[in-house]
Amino acid sequence: MKTGLKIIFASIISLSWYLLNGEDSGELSLMIFFFLAFILLIKPISFQSPEKREDYIQQLKRSYERQMDLKNKQKEEKRRLIQATTERSYRKTHQKQDDANL
């Protein structure tokens, strides 16, 4: 509803410009319409309190730390799996050699 009223307001201003200045100002009135519509429809920058900003920064830091902890845990788990696999293969090869020596 508000958007429609803003567009109607911009069209009224540009139409009044066109009617006051004659047919030669058609392009200018069209530019006025688009400029006013743009100005009226953009969202203004809202003030953000320092507390909210600081809270948001802390949330980002915690999220980053959690991601890094998760990556470190995954690396550690992968390292443990590789180590367990190499130990198993080492045991198998030594067990085969021991069986062959008997």
Task: State the pLDDT confidence band at 1, using cuts at 50, 70 and 90.
Answer: confident
Which range of residues forms the domain containing residue 52?
48-101
Q: Are residues 96 and 52 in the same domain?
A: yes
Q: Phi then psi for 52, rounded to 5 degrees?
A: -65, -40
Instruction: Indicate if 23 and 42 belong to the same structural domain.
Output: yes
| Total domains in the fold of the chain | 2
Note whether 96 and 54 are same-domain residues.
Answer: yes
Tokens of 87: 């130990």
Q: Are 5 and 34 members of one domain?
A: yes
54 & 93 share domain = yes
Do both 92 and 59 map to the same domain?
yes
pTM score of the predicted model: 0.45
Name the residue with higher pLDDT: 8 or 48: 8
Give the amino acid at 11. Answer: S
pLDDT confidence tier of residue 45, bands split at 50, 70 and 90 = confident
Q: What are phi and psi of 10, to 5 degrees?
A: -65, -40
